Amino acid sequence: MNSKNQGTTITNKGTFRLLRKAAVPQYLATGVLVFAVDYCAFFVCYQLLGLQLAVSTAIAFLIGLATSFILSRTWVFAAQVKGERLRKSAVRYVIFLVATYALIYLFLKFLQQWFLISPYVGKFGVSFFLTFWNYFGYKFWVFRAARQAF
């Protein structure tokens, strides 16, 4: 095998390790499941039960967040939170989610009032943005690794 092929193999292995370490595939799989749960709950509340937008969003959000927290802490960021107290990450998670709920509601209301976009459609766009918002918020604040002394 020539050195060029060896370098490519090493680079590919390094990229794979980086993706595994970053927990991106697990995060995306979790996100798809959480979105499905959230959207179904939102649809049932808003369409079938006729609840207000704020109430429907809150109920769907609470159901989705329980699913997300469990999967994120036990699967996606498990290596980062190893040895960390559940309470610590749970408190940070709740604070982060209050801010996230406000963003969701404001985005949906803005899209509905200013662009006449149905919340059913707007939910997709808002969720796309939140995929990135949540990943970085979870990785660097909610489930961040314990800081090491130098």
Read off the pLDDT of residues 98-128 as tens digits, 9 standing for 90 and up: 998 899 999 999 999 999 999 999 999 998 8
**Long-range contacts at 84-90 (CB < 8 A, ≥ 24 apart):** 84/146, 89/142, 89/143
**H or E stretch covering 111:** helix 86-115
14, pLDDT greater than 80: no
Read off the pLDDT of residues 120-146 as tens digits, 9 standing for 90 and up: 999 999 988 988 898 999 988 898 876
CB of 68 within 8 A of CB of 34?
yes
CB of 27 within 8 A of CB of 135?
yes
Instruction: Please give the pLDDT value at position 16.
Output: 47
Cα-atom radius of gyration of the chain, to the nearest Å? Answer: 19
Amino acid identity at 35 = F
